[in-house]
Chain A
Amino acid sequence: MTTTTRPVAALDAERVTLAYDQRTVFQDLSLSVMEGQITTLVGANGSGKSTLLKAFGRLLSPRSGRIHLQGKALRTIPTRQVARQLAVLPQKPLTPPATTVRELAARGRHPHQTWFRPLTSQDTAAIDAALDATGLTGLAGRDVATLSGGQIQRAWIALVLAQQTPIALLDEPTTFLDLAHQLEILHLVRRLNRDHRTTVLMVLHDLWLAGRFSDRLIALAGGQVVADGSPWEVLKPGVLRQAFGLEAQVVSEPVTGSPLVVPAAETVLPHDLAGS
């Protein structure tokens, strides 16, 4: 099962057109997310990162074209079955009232349960493991409404872990967190990928973190993929200029040797790019 020699597409978009009401975000876009990799979507605000993630997570259906989940058309698979294959952490989930951390994580078992069958020992084990991996075991009985920003984000990740899917889509999992907590979440994501071979597709804003924690980056701008490849292939001055309107140098950061984007003193503002 894990001895794949050539990369296999976990998710595959085939000439998809994604649009909201009148506004078309992507036209005839084709893109694959490879199994077992951490793939990160980067791009300026409004470049369609979240839109693409939603489409892969079947939260937005394409106007045209098809998305395949492990070779099967996503639309034809019952949504509950998809939920056992693929977890999505949206950007702003609603924090429910009067719910403990453990109860929140337990929601991740929903696709594995039926309404007449309560939690099994397998479910309990999955929840325990998720709380342990996110360091929330000690807070399991706490009401989620009383958690700090970092803790609540870990609780959402715990929910996704409890879902135990081979694919996880994370929309800006590190927003609103300080640097230490951002690193903590991303280390968690990498452990998930390394230990469980979970395929991860995420959206990140911080290019340095994206470069450090991803196997592959995809830079989006103007409804197009402007660069696609390893962090060093994508984080180049030309790509940064095209995707962000950013004049920058890219240096090797001293700790891990991953690319570090250092902006120049003066930069073009992103909205100057709008017409191009």
Chain B
Amino acid sequence: MSTTRRAAPPPAQTLPPVTPKLAPRSNPMQPKPPQPPRASLKPPRSADRTRRHRLTTGICLVAALGVGLVAMTAGSADYTILEVIQVLAGRGTPAQELILLDFRAPRVVAGLAVGASLGLAGTLTQTFARNPLATPDILGVTSGAALGAVAAICLGGGGYAVAAPLLALGIPTMSTVGAVCSATVVYGLAWRGGINSYRLILIGIGATATLSGITSYLIAQAKITDAQAAAVWLVGNLSGVSWSSVWPVVVVLAVVAPVAASQSRDLAVSQLGDDLAVSLGVAMQRHRMIVIGCAVALTAAAVSASGPVEFVAFVSPQIALRLTGAARPPLFTSALAGAILVAGADSLVRGVLPGERPVGLITAMIGAPYLIWLLIRHRGGTDGL
């Protein structure tokens, strides 16, 4: 690094006047209000797309808050949105406060946070692997968590009433341990002087099959009550959520989201292939480690709170991708889509459908047809999918 630092700035060529044509890139974690449309002059496609992206993100943000409010009204005791807002503002009766703030709010917040975590985790893994099939489920995280939780239920003496409080603490802990362990093993087995995403996916699929097999074995061996408890947990369920089980998800989301956002630019560059990404200065192995670490932490936190809510991590990024028309699943919008999906499905479960059905049933039943509809509608597009 002596005198020759860089080539002199281009002098010889006649450069065109500097006209900043590209809209400044927005930080994906901070949605900006949609810009007013330019009057004359048809805008170039990139500006068009940026505007659509921001508009969609804005709408999703409003929708997520709306779903949160509506979810607060759903349940056996009827409240209007106005009453909910009054209570949230601190002007409700003690009875209202008990029902809304202590019983319903944790469940609504859990729905939003779990959905956002899964949506974000799915975006990270799908983008880094450049493959929409690469969800945290396929990378073995979810099946590890499931095995941990089912082991806690079936082997932890779940049948005894005495063990109930222990179990309440044990399930989230065991599922977190299971998720982190299986992710570490999968990552370690996939490592071969670096991480190749195809190898990671294949090993993840193998690990998922193995872990699911063990989980099924445990359930088959278990007492009928334990087996039922395990089955309910495995579908993904937000009933019985309290503030103490919500906080871990919210904290993990709050810590991991900025870290994930810091990788956004590297994720964009790594879409051009590993070689070009390295050439453009992405420290690829570190970047991958951070992205996978974020996805594992988010998934583990979400799954430990609610069980594996099916399909959210897969479908949210794909829905957000198609709504925004972006080049890759957008981090923030995907998180919002996940939040809307889970919180919305859970309020359907509580408010509309008879009996308490696990939310995981509904997310797949709503999310999958919606994605298929989006795919059919955009069939003529240049997306390739």
Contact = CB atoms under 8 A, between A and B. Distances in A.
A and B from one assembly? Answer: yes
A72 interface: yes
Interface of chain A: mostly helix, strand, loop or mixed:
mixed
Interface string B241-280: 0000000000000000000011011001101110110111
A50 B19 CA distance: 38
Interface in B38-59: 44-46, 49
Contact of A143 (B272, B326, B382): B382
A78 B100 CA distance: 53
Contact of B280 (A92, A111, A125, A127): A111
A143 B22 CA distance: 14
Given A196-B7, A197-B8, A111 B271 contact: no
Contacts of B326: 98
Contact of B10 (A81, A129, A143): A129
Nearest to A194: B12
A115 B4 contact: no
Contacts of B26: 118
B15 A128 contact: yes
A146 interface: yes
Given A79-B283, A127-B22, A195 B272 contact: no
Contacts of A88: 275-276, 278-279
Contacts, number: 165
B94 interface: no
B327 interface: yes
Interface in A12-53: 35
Given A97-B384, A119-B24, A124-B18, A72 B272 contact: no
B273 A97 contact: no
A22 B326 CA distance: 41
B280 A110 contact: yes
A89 B283 CA distance: 17
A235 interface: no
A96 B46 CA distance: 14
Contacts of B22: 102-103, 106, 119, 124, 127
Contact of A90 (B12, B276, B282, B327): B276
A78, A79, A102, A111 — which one has the most chain B CB atoms within 10 A of its CB? A79
B27 interface: yes
B130 interface: yes
B271 A96 contact: yes
A114 to B, nearest CB: 8
B161 interface: no
B354 interface: no
A236 interface: no
A98 B325 contact: yes
Interface in A97-142: 97-100, 102-103, 106-108, 110-111, 113, 115-116, 118-119, 121, 124-125, 127-129, 132-133, 137, 140-142
Nearest to B26: A118
Interface in B179-220: none
Contact of B18 (A1, A128, A133): A128
Contacts of B9: 164
Q: How large is the interface on B (under 10, 10 to 19, 20 to 34, 35 or more residues)?
A: 35 or more
Contacts of B328: 96-97
B281 interface: yes
A181 interface: no
Interface in A62-79: 70-72, 78-79
A128 B44 CA distance: 15
B25 A119 contact: yes
Contact of B27 (A92, A102, A116): A116
A273 interface: no
Nearest to A35: B4
A93 B270 CA distance: 10
B35 interface: no
A39 B7 CA distance: 18
Contact of B130 (A59, A94, A124, A198): A94
B26 to A, nearest CB: 8
B21 interface: yes
B258 to A, nearest CB: 10
A104 to B, nearest CB: 8
B37 interface: no
B377 interface: no
A191 B10 CA distance: 11
Given A1-B4, A59-B275, A98 B382 contact: yes
Interface of B: 1-4, 6-10, 12-13, 15-16, 18-22, 24-27, 44-46, 49, 130, 261-262, 264-265, 268-269, 271-273, 275-276, 278-283, 325-328, 382-384
Interface pairs A-B: 6 shortest CB-CB: A83-B281, A141-B44, A111-B281, A80-B281, A88-B279, A90-B275
Interface of A: 1-2, 8, 35, 54, 57-59, 70-72, 78-90, 92-94, 96-100, 102-103, 106-108, 110-111, 113, 115-116, 118-119, 121, 124-125, 127-129, 132-133, 137, 140-143, 145-146, 163-166, 191, 195-198
17 contacts: A1-B3, A72-B1, A78-B283, A83-B280, A90-B273, A90-B275, A94-B272, A96-B327, A110-B281, A110-B282, A118-B24, A119-B24, A140-B21, A141-B45, A143-B382, A146-B382, A164-B9
Given A84-B281, A132-B15, 17 more contacts: A1-B3, A57-B275, A59-B275, A79-B282, A80-B282, A83-B280, A87-B279, A93-B273, A93-B275, A108-B280, A110-B280, A119-B20, A129-B16, A142-B45, A166-B7, A195-B12, A197-B8
